[in-house]
A and B are shown apart, each in its own frame.
Chain A
Amino acid sequence: MKDQPVLDVRGLWKVFGPKPERAVGSTLSRQELKERTGCVAAVRDVSFAVRPGEVFVVMGLSGSGKSTLVRCLTRLIEPTAGEILFDGADIRKADERHLRELRRHRLAMVFQHFGLLPHRCVLDNVAYGLEIRGSGRAERYKRAREVLELVGLTGFENSYPDQLSGGMQQRVGLARALAVDPDLLLFDEPFSALDPLIRREMQNEVIRLHREVGKTMVFITHDLSEALKLGDRILIMRDGALVQMGTPDEVVGAPADDYVRDFVSDVPRSHVLTLRWVMRDALPEEPLDGPELDPDLVIRDAVRVVLSADRPVRVVRDGELLGVVTSAEILEMIAR
């Protein structure tokens, strides 16, 4: 029961153009499809499931369909085909009223360009989602203040959005999404418009919030390092289709095709891969009394122990010996 996915997307299509249904199921390339039917398939046959409490990252370059995908999830863009099961019920079948209720209570979204209301102060911006679902003034301001404290904006309640820096504006966007206490948070490239230092700060903020409030998140980005840093699992899209889905170390350690391989080639592998990826079976004559390490330990964090040990390091999970690692494997990995 616990592992029933929060969100289960099955065979999702979004086609723009005249008579979009015709293009559903087509296996033509984007270019050919455009020439034959005049349609553009922004999302083609994407399926994935998001587990409770997970940070699920959708990554792709611009034009890969990732922003369209996330908008289809709350039907800001109406999907052409497929199922979007949210807690077992298909969002696509919801009528307008039901959809509005979902958006008001259970789903919330953070936008790349913030989408704040420039004529309202920070407090009223954060309380907006509560206001439109009919909460009383005192109640919504109380909740808004709580959330503002959570994102570190206490003291800015009466400022206006254009008086804040980009990073602070996005904190307001984040607070607005959190204020409605949703079951699922959607992020559409929330930090792309921010400069690198602020971006890193905000990424850490999301990690902290995820630890504190434990929300399930779907996070869209074009930035691989951001994806690797935040994601429990990563879905890579290209030309609207799913290319690979897996944990960060799966994506880096076992790229599905040349596209992904090329994509991850610059990633310092020792920062992402775990011991599981470099361990080997113990040779018969090897001593097995070296230090013990967990297979999910990132290599970077294991370097010191392995290199300073005078015998092979044992990789052990639940008392069972999975393999061994010596400085040879580590050095070969780093040198590659």
Chain B
Amino acid sequence: MTTLSLTARVPARRYLLGAILAAWVLGHALLAGRDTLALGGAELTPLHEGANQAWDTVDDNRNSNPFFLYFFNYVRLILDESVRFVQALISQPSFGRPVPVLGWLGVVALAAAVTYIFGNIRVALLTVAGFVSFGLLGLWAESMDTLALTLTAVAYSLAVGIPLGIWAGLSGRFNRFVTPVLDFMQTMPTFVYLAPLTLFFLIGPASATIATMIYAIPPAIRITAHAIREVSPVTLEASASLGATAAQSLRQVRLPLARRTIVVGVNQTIMAALSMATIAALIDAPGLGKTVLKALQTLDIGAAFNAGLAIVIMAVVLDRATTAASRRVETRRRTGREISAFFRRVEVGGALGIAAVLGYLSYTYVWAAEFPAGADLGSYVRRAADAASLWVQDSLSGFTDALKNVITYGLLNPFESLLAGSPWWLVFAVGVSIAALVGGLRAAITAAVGLAALIGLGLWQDSMVTLASTLVATILVLALGVATGVWIGRSDRADAVLRPVLDAGQTMPAFVYLVPILGLFGPTRFTAIIAAVVFAAPVAIKLVAEGIRGVPPATVEAARSAGSSSWQLIGKVRLPMARASVALAANQGLIYVLSMVVVGGLVGAGALGYDVVAGFSQHQLRGKGLAAGLAIVVLGIVLDRVTRAAQVRTVRLGVIKED
């Protein structure tokens, strides 16, 4: 009975959806431009002014309010000093010296020794090459600043994340408590918490460290907890049967068995931290991110590319080094014990000895402390990038303009006009009814509350403009994700070729994408959309490919033996069976796209992204920036809930249909 009624309702829902959209288009045609709640770039609502005043009040009482005096200011002090200390070691003049404690030679030697001891000789060489290239690009001090911030944030993240992860792995109750918190931390677009953090911790290293930690702790906790929980229950039972205490089982069974996975968590934490440490340039964090940001603001493609290249190199070095370390955990135990213990000591001692000697040289002599200025590749890179960008803009303009125009006029403008040009009550009603149709009652309530909040924040029209480009970017992401994901899912060769590219795409800090895209398309909203698509596509592609691969070979074989063509196999067997993965890809794609909204604001996308960016730089727009950040979060929550509810529904309907 349920089968019948539910399957019978599907076409009805589809017609209803069509009717709603038709009514919307009709309403738009008749009422365009009325009640759109537009707000000019410099206009403020009372709420925004109130936020400004509140901010000023906090600023005035920063040194008298007990909360600040005894908590926030101490946290700020400790974090600032931690970062400054590492900076003093490797990047900034310190302790009355004109140069840092360790000069370039010492840093290179130490990094090589560490990667050699925990990894292998190949990553050590890669590390040397990578670090030397920072100097050659003329960005030694900036690179070391970024490294200092990243390493400090990683140290704190791991110090907090691994114990919490172990706890979550051991205690189901704590795990249930912490999981939604982590979900929230990870779905929150990265840029929006920068501004509130500066309210409490001022701009500078402390806010940057905390922002980085918010972004980098979730993978540390999640992966550690997963590793601890996944330890074979058979082994644990055997250990218990021999009379091991809980502490003994943790130390001698769980932790050693989880170590390899925990190192993977360390890798993820480092990559997340690097990504965020560059983004934190928006709140004046030192380092490469600042160079990129400055170059983006002045549209200096060459300088942006140069610094972007350094970030990519750092990402590659850190990724390879930690990956090699996690492999080593695996291989080390294979070698014979007695022989390796001796060799190992010689190896470690030798590597550290060389590093110590070179470190001493760099402490003492100027030539080893300051990277030789003569060996400058940076200016060549800058000029070459400028030239390439110009050439591309000139000679590919036919193609890029066509792409830009098709998407702008074919998708973006109609969407934007529908969403931002219709009366707010019409869009509100349409949004809530669509949410109700695809996601059910709870999704509809979420949508109603969220949309009302957008009105309350005074940023309705900006939110609708941002929503329009977000939806366009998501559609592109999903199209790309399904096409490429199906290809990768079906062909091992495509998988072998494309997967490293996708992996690299995911490890790159978000800033870096902007540079070549800006070079191609110039500063427009379209650039922002493409940057978001490039950022979000790898995740969507991987999820779809995973779903396609998960289709049982027996089913495919059966369909083929029944005479299905390749396209029928894809359309009637693989994609329907991978439906859950495609729905998840849509959800994740949305979240990723949304987290690029603020980055888009840097390169010409207006609306919420611009509001947030302007809030960083202009005193009187701080309150509005805060509200815009909140609006992005609200959009994120609404879109996440509605797509998730829709996802649950499609999967459930599918199951019933298959019965």
Stretch at the interface among B182-190, B241-249, B320-328, B469-477: B241-249
Across the interface, A132 reaches (CB within 8 A) one of B232, B235, B243, B333, namely B243
Asked whether B334 lies within 8 Å of A160 as measured between CB atoms, the reply is yes
> A132 contacts which chain B residues (CB < 8 A)?
239, 242-245, 248, 252
> A100 contacts which chain B residues (CB < 8 A)?
243, 245
**A294 vs B333: C-alpha distance when bound (angstroms):** 57
Name B483-517 residues within 8 Å CB distance of A.
none
Provided the pairs A115-B235, A119-B257 are in contact, do residues A76 and B240 lie with their beta carbons within 8 angstroms?
yes
A63 at the interface (CB under 8 A from B): no
Asked whether B240 lies within 8 Å of A104 as measured between CB atoms, the reply is no
Asked whether A111 lies within 8 Å of B238 as measured between CB atoms, the reply is yes
Closest-CB distance, B37 to chain A (whole angstroms) = 55
B337 at the interface (CB under 8 A from A): yes
Provided the pairs A119-B333, A158-B337, A160-B333 are in contact, do residues A74 and B252 lie with their beta carbons within 8 angstroms?
no
> A158 contacts which chain B residues (CB < 8 A)?
336-337
> B238 contacts which chain A residues (CB < 8 A)?
109, 111, 114-116, 173, 176
> A114 contacts which chain B residues (CB < 8 A)?
234, 238
Closest-CB distance, A11 to chain B (whole angstroms) = 24
Closest-CB distance, A215 to chain B (whole angstroms) = 16
A133 at the interface (CB under 8 A from B): yes
Provided the pairs A76-B237, A118-B257 are in contact, do residues A103 and B242 lie with their beta carbons within 8 angstroms?
yes
For B233-277 the 0/1 string (1 means CB < 8 A from A) is 011111111111100100011001101000000000000000000
Asked whether B242 lies within 8 Å of A176 as measured between CB atoms, the reply is yes
A51 at the interface (CB under 8 A from B): no
The CB with the most chain B CB atoms within 10 A, among A105, A113, A115, A128, is that of: A115
**A119 vs B245: C-alpha distance when bound (angstroms):** 19
A168 at the interface (CB under 8 A from B): no
Name A63-111 residues within 8 Å CB distance of B.
74, 76, 100-105, 107-109, 111
Across the interface, A129 reaches (CB within 8 A) one of B234, B242, B259, B334, namely B242
Closest-CB distance, B136 to chain A (whole angstroms) = 42
**A269 vs B333: C-alpha distance when bound (angstroms):** 52
> A131 contacts which chain B residues (CB < 8 A)?
252
For A129-158 the 0/1 string (1 means CB < 8 A from B) is 101110000000000000000000000001
Secondary structure dominating the interface of B: helix
Asked whether A103 lies within 8 Å of B243 as measured between CB atoms, the reply is yes
> A117 contacts which chain B residues (CB < 8 A)?
235, 239, 252-253, 256-257
Asked whether A133 lies within 8 Å of B241 as measured between CB atoms, the reply is no
Nearest residue (CB) in B for A162 is B334
**A158 vs B242: C-alpha distance when bound (angstroms):** 22
**A176 vs B234: C-alpha distance when bound (angstroms):** 15
For B316-344 the 0/1 string (1 means CB < 8 A from A) is 00000000000000000110110000000
**A298 vs B336: C-alpha distance when bound (angstroms):** 51
A180 at the interface (CB under 8 A from B): yes
> A160 contacts which chain B residues (CB < 8 A)?
333-334
A121 at the interface (CB under 8 A from B): yes
> B239 contacts which chain A residues (CB < 8 A)?
115, 117, 128, 132
Closest-CB distance, A60 to chain B (whole angstroms) = 20
Nearest residue (CB) in B for A186 is B241
Asked whether A133 lies within 8 Å of B243 as measured between CB atoms, the reply is yes
The CB with the most chain A CB atoms within 10 A, among B232, B259, B334, is that of: B232
Provided the pairs A116-B235, A117-B235 are in contact, do residues A108 and B334 lie with their beta carbons within 8 angstroms?
no
Provided the pairs A111-B234, A114-B234, A117-B256 are in contact, do residues A129 and B333 lie with their beta carbons within 8 angstroms?
no
**A271 vs B165: C-alpha distance when bound (angstroms):** 58
Closest-CB distance, A109 to chain B (whole angstroms) = 4
**A74 vs B334: C-alpha distance when bound (angstroms):** 34
Nearest residue (CB) in B for A101 is B243
Asked whether A108 lies within 8 Å of B237 as measured between CB atoms, the reply is no
Asked whether B242 lies within 8 Å of A128 as measured between CB atoms, the reply is yes
**A103 vs B253: C-alpha distance when bound (angstroms):** 17
Across the interface, A111 reaches (CB within 8 A) one of B237, B253, B333, namely B237
Closest-CB distance, A235 to chain B (whole angstroms) = 21
Closest-CB distance, A96 to chain B (whole angstroms) = 9
For B515-554 the 0/1 string (1 means CB < 8 A from A) is 0000000000000000000000000000000000000000
Closest-CB distance, B92 to chain A (whole angstroms) = 42
Asked whether B256 lies within 8 Å of A129 as measured between CB atoms, the reply is no
Name B575-602 residues within 8 Å CB distance of A.
none
Closest-CB distance, B227 to chain A (whole angstroms) = 13
Nearest residue (CB) in B for A104 is B243
> B244 contacts which chain A residues (CB < 8 A)?
132
Provided the pairs A115-B234, A115-B235 are in contact, do residues A103 and B336 lie with their beta carbons within 8 angstroms?
no
Asked whether A102 lies within 8 Å of B337 as measured between CB atoms, the reply is no
Name B204-228 residues within 8 Å CB distance of A.
none
For A14-38 the 0/1 string (1 means CB < 8 A from B) is 0000000000000000000000000
Closest-CB distance, A218 to chain B (whole angstroms) = 13
Asked whether B241 lies within 8 Å of A121 as measured between CB atoms, the reply is no
Nearest residue (CB) in A for B240 is A76
**A111 vs B232: C-alpha distance when bound (angstroms):** 13
Nearest residue (CB) in B for A102 is B243
**A131 vs B253: C-alpha distance when bound (angstroms):** 13
Provided the pairs A117-B235, A117-B253, A118-B257 are in contact, do residues A109 and B241 lie with their beta carbons within 8 angstroms?
yes
Provided the pairs A117-B235, A118-B257, A160-B333 are in contact, do residues A76 and B242 lie with their beta carbons within 8 angstroms?
no
Nearest residue (CB) in B for A123 is B337
Nearest residue (CB) in B for A129 is B242
Closest-CB distance, B444 to chain A (whole angstroms) = 36
Closest-CB distance, B245 to chain A (whole angstroms) = 7
**A107 vs B334: C-alpha distance when bound (angstroms):** 32
**A103 vs B242: C-alpha distance when bound (angstroms):** 5
**A74 vs B236: C-alpha distance when bound (angstroms):** 14
Asked whether B241 lies within 8 Å of A74 as measured between CB atoms, the reply is yes
**A100 vs B245: C-alpha distance when bound (angstroms):** 8
> B240 contacts which chain A residues (CB < 8 A)?
76, 103
Closest-CB distance, B536 to chain A (whole angstroms) = 38
**A330 vs B242: C-alpha distance when bound (angstroms):** 49
Asked whether A103 lies within 8 Å of B241 as measured between CB atoms, the reply is yes
The CB with the most chain A CB atoms within 10 A, among B235, B242, B253, is that of: B242
> A101 contacts which chain B residues (CB < 8 A)?
243
**A145 vs B147: C-alpha distance when bound (angstroms):** 50
Closest-CB distance, A85 to chain B (whole angstroms) = 19
**A241 vs B292: C-alpha distance when bound (angstroms):** 74
> B245 contacts which chain A residues (CB < 8 A)?
100, 132
Asked whether A104 lies within 8 Å of B242 as measured between CB atoms, the reply is yes
**A113 vs B234: C-alpha distance when bound (angstroms):** 7
**A76 vs B242: C-alpha distance when bound (angstroms):** 11
For A167-196 the 0/1 string (1 means CB < 8 A from B) is 000000100100010000000000000000
Provided the pairs A119-B257, A132-B248, A132-B252 are in contact, do residues A180 and B237 lie with their beta carbons within 8 angstroms?
no
Asked whether A108 lies within 8 Å of B242 as measured between CB atoms, the reply is yes
The CB with the most chain A CB atoms within 10 A, among B236, B237, B239, B243, is that of: B243
Closest-CB distance, A98 to chain B (whole angstroms) = 11
**A114 vs B236: C-alpha distance when bound (angstroms):** 11
> B257 contacts which chain A residues (CB < 8 A)?
117-119
**A129 vs B245: C-alpha distance when bound (angstroms):** 12
**A115 vs B259: C-alpha distance when bound (angstroms):** 18
Asked whether B234 lies within 8 Å of A76 as measured between CB atoms, the reply is no
Asked whether B235 lies within 8 Å of A180 as measured between CB atoms, the reply is no
Provided the pairs A117-B256, A158-B336, A160-B334 are in contact, do residues A129 and B243 lie with their beta carbons within 8 angstroms?
yes
> B237 contacts which chain A residues (CB < 8 A)?
76, 111, 115
6 contacts between A and B (CB under 8 A): A103-B240, A104-B242, A117-B252, A128-B252, A160-B334, A176-B238
CB within 8 Å of B: which residues of A?
74, 76, 100-105, 107-109, 111, 113-121, 128-129, 131-133, 158, 160, 173, 176, 180
Counting from the closest, the 3 A-B pairs by CB-CB distance are A115-B238, A104-B243, A103-B243
Other 15 A-B pairs with CB < 8 A, given A103-B240, A105-B243, A117-B235: A76-B237, A100-B243, A102-B243, A103-B242, A104-B242, A114-B234, A115-B232, A115-B236, A115-B239, A119-B257, A132-B252, A133-B243, A158-B336, A158-B337, A180-B242
